[in-house]
Amino acid sequence: MPDLTNETNQTNEIDPPETLSGYGAKRRTALSCMAWAGAGMLWTLSGGVPGSKLLSGTAQAAEVDRHAFSFVQISDSHIGFSKDPNLDPASTLKEAVDKIRASNEKPAFMIHTGDISHLSKPGEFDTAAQIVGSAGLDVHYVPGEHDVLIDDGNSYFERFSKPADKKWYSFDQGGVHFIGLTNVLNMRGGGLGFLGDEQLAWLKQDLTRRSSSTPLVVFAHIPLWSLYPQWGWGTDDSAQALSLMKRFGSVTVLNGHVHQVAQKVEGDISFYSAMSTAFPQPAPGTAAGPGPMKVPADTLRTLLGVRSVNYVPGQMELAIVDTRLSV
């Protein structure tokens, strides 16, 4: 169990997502919600307000309660990428999976929030599936834009979608309702994600059957909040999806795409972006644009990582731990 004695409570005052499209003072606001993961950052959510706890040493998933279940998130493996700063992303994906396997508590399942591959090639999918499969966990995938570069993503969906699922789906675990959304088909100008009318209609029907006391965990590749629209770090029609979730008392939204830890809270909806297992990207507004950020070889693994999420049935509380591959 990691040492949690060094605790600080934070309440971030952040402008609504739509205001993040400005520069100057608004850029500073956007940057204020960014946080590179330390040895591990534990976010404990209570009533939608996060408190952070820095985990020292080789942080692992925090044990919240004997009866809690946990799951893990990995993202942006980019198998097939072969440039600086990571010539072999398969090796860092394997390291991430090894960390998961070494956890004291076996997770209930894994989610992968997209960009499994770099160029949607069958061999890249094969390699990723073999490495991820070595964790011995049930895996729920959503695609990234790099997974659907050819044949409208059919190669991806045939391989990684479960038989009963469409391109978007939901499932239940331990009293929590999970929703996997696809926002990388028919992307909008500037690289913004897009859900579309068909998926939004499905989401409305799916949520209609749920009590407002049901905790929701939603996961997609591109952020469902306007993290930095100038770089395509947002979803064009996400406001329609989020409006359907406002009646729920606990909503956690997980994404990849940006290759770094970021968080935002809006009412009872909390948003979390995850690290990549392949390469980092610059913080928003600190470079000419998004893309692989070159870093020294001995620094790379400190900017890559995995995420563990713990839930206690009957409580509106999640604990989120982001852990680097190296400290």
19 in Cβ contact with 228 (< 8 Å): no
CATH class (in words) of the domain with range 7-324: alpha beta
Q: Rounded CA gap, 172 and 176, in Å?
A: 6
Q: What is the pLDDT of residue 132?
A: 97
**Structure-block tokens of residue 291:** 């893309």
List of residues 6+ apart from 164 with CB closer than 8 A: none
DSSP for 156-221 reads: HHHHHS-TT--SSEEEEETTEEEEE---BSS--GGG-BB--HHHHHHHHHHHHTS-TTS-EEEEES
Q: Quick: pLDDT tens for 46-65.
A: 333 333 333 333 444 344 45
Give pLDDT < 50 ranges for the chain.
1-64
Amino acid making up residue 32: S
How much is the pLDDT for 312?
Answer: 73
CA of 224: how far to CAs of 105, 211, 320, in Å?
A: 30, 22, 18
Hey, how many other C-beta atoms are within 10 angstroms of the C-beta on 172?
A: 10
pLDDT at 277: 97
Whether 278 and 304 have beta carbons less than 8 Å apart is answered as yes
Residue 228 pLDDT: 97
* pTM for this predicted structure: 0.82
* Residue appearing with tokens 């009533």: 47
Contacts of 266 (CB under 8 A, 6+ apart): 16, 17, 225, 242
